[in-house]
Amino acid sequence: MTLGLSLGIIVGYLFLALAVGLVAYRVSETTAEDYYLASRSIGTVVLLFTTFATLLSAFTFFGGPNLAFAAGPEWLIVMGTLDGVLFAVLWYAIGYKQWLIGNRNGYVTLGEMLGDRFGSTGLRALVAGVSLLWLFPYVMLQQMGAGEALVGLTDGVVPYWGGAALITAFMILYVVLAGMRGVAWTDTIQGLFMLSVVWIAAVWVVSAVGGVGAATGAMLDARPDFGSFGGGTYSVGFIVSTVITISFGVTMFPQINQRFFVAKSGETLKRSFALWPVLVLLLFVPAFMLGAWAAGMPVDVPEGGNVLPVVLNEYTPAWFAALVIAGAMAAMMSSSDSMLLSGSSYFTRDLYRPVINADASERREAWVARIGVAAFALLSFVASLFRPGTLIEVGGTAFSGFALLALPVLCALYWDRTTRTGMIAGVLVPQVAYLAVVLSAVASFVPTLPRTVAGGWDVALGLMALSAVLTVGVSLLTAPTAEGDASRFAVAGD
């Protein structure tokens, strides 16, 4: 099996996805609601898999197995069980209410919904600005993952920048063309594809090393600490912090939050979040256990490299390793195209039209959206070339930044007494504090600030509490403005 054939599988997969996008483009309408939300027509299977494929990215496919390889299989409990269940609960608490409100009032973005409720263009722009700020490192994460994936698959023949550039070019082309309908269709194909290949990979590798018992025994011989719970990386502070910041952060990701608006019915939404934990575990079990079992295998994972491609190259034929890497690329692409599409809607609807050019025509807005997609993707590509951290570190930074939005949004959804000033204080102050923490790690002009406190508790957890205290406290001290209208969120559901 030649290198050319391996790359041919990857490129062939990209063209298949592009063909689906072309079909979606031909049946789409030229309205913003259709381009960004597929006219709110998504059914259960497509909604479940587009959320699944959008959420599962390089962070999951490479970062997760890498952490399981280094620190043990408990990552499966953190992400697969605790986060899977907690996100499903939040999908109901936040997503279902958002769907009811959005379906009645026609909202497309989170900022648009909050801005209308509180009669504030400033709040709308603030939410969009914060979302675009943290979206940047997460798009960069996908480009880093793609670059590293192709380096692993080709033994360095394709350079890191080549893989990152390939996914960047595809993202720009696809998002400009396909819109939400095309993204959701390809997400469904990509989700089924990645789920299938990762299970086949796990069975193939485990069979090659003598079965599950032999793989587990070799892992425990090499790393006896992998056989017990707790200890090392998995402190109580780390587990609780990670579960809360990731699950709450996910609900505020633009590409996930916007999917709360696209279901064609409330029943569609309920079936989707009920099935979510099962689907998540079906992917995480084989992917993360491959990473953990690799600790007992005679494989040499280079410093800073990804464990999954190394294991596949060792135990499976080159063509199958290429298929699995194509599945990982699918995970990254399905996340990236959705991020760029949502980022585009946040920029044009919440920043460009209300703040910069209120009289812009639909045609001009559409061009601004497409140029914005290209500029955003190219800037994040350039940043990805500097590799500012590991996949887990970069992903964790974005998750925590988004998590700081969640509690003010919950207040707005369920507490009529919430005021515009309370919302702005609850969003702005914790974000500024967290940004200072992040910058202190990479900018010499910012005094060093800790990312964790008191034995491993993420500082973002404390800032989430601060966001809730500020939102409630400032709301109690200030009066609702005349422009606010709590009745905009008054909807009935079950």
Per residue in 264-318, pLDDT (tens digit) is: 888 888 888 888 888 888 888 998 999 999 999 998 888 777 888 889 888 988 7
Locus of tokens 């914790």:
430
The 8-class DSSP code of residue 457 comes to E
Q: What is the mean pLDDT of residues 200-224?
A: 93
Lowest mean pLDDT among 8-12, 120-124, 189-193, 308-312: 8-12
Supply φ then ψ for residue 74, to 5 degrees.
-65, -15
Task: Using alpha carbons, select from 52, 474, 409, 397 the residue that is nearest to residue 242.
Answer: 397
Confidence of residue 62 (pLDDT cuts 50, 70, 90): confident
CA distance 314 to 333: 26
Q: What is the mean pLDDT of residues 185-207?
A: 86
Residues facing 458 on adjacent strands: 452
Lowest mean pLDDT among 61-70, 195-204, 325-334, 477-486: 325-334
Tens of pLDDT, residues 421-477:
999 999 999 999 999 988 887 777 777 778 778 777 889 999 999 999 999 999 999
CA distance 81 to 76: 7
39 pLDDT higher than 90? no
CA distance 145 to 135: 16
Contacts 24+ apart (CB under 8 A), 25-30: 25/177, 25/178, 25/179, 25/182, 27/181, 28/179, 28/181, 28/182, 30/362
Supply φ then ψ for residue 103, to 5 degrees.
-65, -35
| Cβ-contact 419, 484 below 8 angstroms | yes
Amino acid of residue 234: Y
Q: Quick one: what percent of the chain has pLDDT higher than 70?
A: 94
**Helix 3-27, helix 121-153: angle, nearest 10:** 150
Does this model's pTM top 0.95? My answer is no
1 pLDDT higher than 60? no
Six-digit token string for 372: 């914005």
Task: Using alpha carbons, select from 341, 379, 316 the residue that is nearest to residue 182.
Answer: 341
